[in-house]
Structure 1
Amino acid sequence: MDIILIPGLWLDASSWDDVIPTLERAGHRVHPLTLPGLGAPASESAEIGIADWVDDATRALDSLPGEAVVVGHSGGGNVAWGVADARPERVRRVIFVDTVPPPSSNGISEFELVDGVVPFPGWDFFPDEDVSDLDEETRSRTAPLTHSVPARVPTDEIVLTDSARYRIPVTLLMGGLDQETFEGMIDQWGPYADEYHAIDDAEVVKVGSGHWPQFSVPEKLGELINAAIAR
């Protein structure tokens, strides 16, 4: 199976490096992406928005010969769901890594702009539940791998138009939430709950990690992705 791996904000294709061997041992063909404008100054990236990221990932899918599984981590989940909306007939499964399917007209989040781009705010910016499993060595090794994000990408509203996306099987690999806990939480999230419950076949699997399992438990994340594909 072809697998498209979409990183979250600030990360490029290399963020999947430690996950890929587990996927390839299972016989999968893996396509990690680096999305447009990553690390570019505002003079080059100011016009790049979330639609451009979705278009780029959709082109990656179009370059493949058949169906593919699309995996999105964190903010990359918005991109993955945009691809599913654009090509529902080509997506075998969508796998969200510690994020949820976004409803149309919603963005990722807001972060501070510096010189017209969104720089990585540092590991200390995030709550302990997200980063407690990243030891100092991992933080020191991975922080230099981050890049600024085009200013519009986190705040642009994603546009979703094809209800066929709800027919695609979905797996949510959630860092610290099992299905029962997750569903109790998402039911408080308004349109996010509506989007989730509209999906015909959605499962939630607890990873037992923080927000970046590709860094803290990459082999386990790979095994969970393999298991989701095998369902």
Structure 2
Amino acid sequence: MTEFVLVAGAWLGSWAWDEVVPPLRAAGHGAHPLTLSGLAERQGEPAGQQTHVQDIVGEIERRDLRDVVLVGHSYSGIPVGQAAERIGDRLTHVVFVDSEVPVDGGSFASGFWQGPATLESTIAANGGFWPPLGADDYDGQGLTDEQVARIVAGTTPHPGATLTEPAVLARPLGELPATYVKCLLDGPEPNDTVAKLLTSEHWRLVTLETGHWPMFSQPAELARLLLTTA
């Protein structure tokens, strides 16, 4: 039995996986959606980048999970990638869902598409948090109006320190057994860092014909893809 540990991206909590968890469990596997510190029902808890790494490692150790497939979406690819190398032989596979990946000494902000200064100024102007997106920001991502409304209603401000503190890697990320899921409505190609990692014999690329939030837009398809790693 595979144990899936599911970590959604910025502004989201464990609730984001509500439609992905049932098919994983129906197939006979464990599914453990995780809310990171400072988000959703854990709002108010202090959090930095390494706090989120430890949230993931701690959950796996607390539950004594083995044969773990770690799943990181968007921002959460950064703490998931670090946690993956820290859980040793508990790990079976890592799945990065249209995500960022950790770079040793780099942060989410340092790779931000508009530049780190833009994100850092937004965080500073919002009391140390990255404010959630509005409904219009989800246009063109394969989501229905109802799905967008659900996301907007559930998102919470994201702790800024988790975005600006650097990642810490003990070994090259390309040595991990990994699948990268590129959601094509969010851009046809992985970024340069991911593209380089995909040259590793341990990594593979798969695509989904949907946008950046496939756990909402195509949950059944995402679950089927995850099951291929079990």
Normalising by the smaller structure, the TM-score range is 0.7 to 0.9
Q: What secondary structure is seen at the aligned counterpart in 2 of 1:75?
A: helix
Listed as ranges, the matches of 1:210-221 within 5 Å are 210-221=211-222
Structure 1 window deviating more from structure 2 (165-174 vs 54-63): it is: 165-174
Deviations 1:140-187 (A, max 9, x none): 122111111111112221111134x5433111111118xxx64xx54x
Q: CA deviation at 1:75?
A: 0.6
Verify: 1:176 aligned to 2:177, yes or no: no
Q: What letter corresponds to residue 105 of structure 2 in structure 1?
A: S
Q: CA deviation at 1:137?
A: 1.5
2:149 alignment counterpart: 140
Residues 205 and 55 of structure 1: is their aligned pair in 2 closer, same or farther, counting only changes over 3 Å?
same
Q: What CA RMSD, in Å, does the superposition of the two structures yield over aligned residues?
A: 2.1
Query: Of 110, 125, 131, which residue of structure 2 is paired with 1:119?
Result: 131
1:84 alignment counterpart: 84
Q: CA deviation at 1:192?
A: 4.8
CA contact 1:118–1:151 (8 Å) conserved in 2:
yes
Verify: 1:204 aligned to 2:205, yes or no: yes
1:101 alignment counterpart: 101
Q: What secondary structure is seen at the aligned counterpart in 2 of 1:4?
A: strand
- Take 2:156 and 2:32, find their aligned partners in 1: how far apart are those partners? 20
Instruction: Output the TM-score relative to the length of structure 1.
Output: 0.83
Q: What letter corresponds to residue 49 of structure 1 in structure 2?
A: G
Q: CA deviation at 1:100?
A: 4.5
Deviations 1:2-53 (A, max 9, x none): 1100110100001000111111111110111001111535xx53xx211110
Q: What letter corresponds to residue 23 of structure 1 in structure 2?
A: L
Q: What letter corresponds to residue 101 of structure 2 in structure 1?
A: P
Structure 2 unaligned blocks of 5 or more: 110-118
Number of aligned residue pairs: give it.
212
- Take 1:210 and 1:16, find their aligned partners in 2: how far apart are those partners? 16
Instruction: Output the TM-score relative to the length of structure 2.
Output: 0.83
Q: What letter corresponds to residue 70 of structure 1 in structure 2?
A: L
Verify: 1:224 aligned to 2:225, yes or no: yes
1:17 alignment counterpart: 18
Query: Of 160, 170, 177, which residue of structure 1 is paired with 2:169?
Result: 160
- Take 2:179 and 2:31, find their aligned partners in 1: how far apart are those partners? 18
Q: What secondary structure is seen at the aligned counterpart in 1 of 2:179?
A: strand
Residues 123 and 9 of structure 1: is their aligned pair in 2 closer, same or farther, counting only changes over 3 Å?
same
CA contact 1:86–1:162 (8 Å) conserved in 2:
no
1:26 alignment counterpart: 27
Q: What letter corresponds to residue 168 of structure 1 in structure 2?
A: L
1:51 alignment counterpart: 50
Deviations 1:95-116 (A, max 9, x none): 0111243321222233622122
Q: What letter corresponds to residue 97 of structure 1 in structure 2?
A: V
CA contact 1:6–1:71 (8 Å) conserved in 2:
yes
Residues 83 and 160 of structure 1: is their aligned pair in 2 closer, same or farther, counting only changes over 3 Å?
same
Q: What letter corresponds to residue 127 of structure 2 in structure 1?
A: D
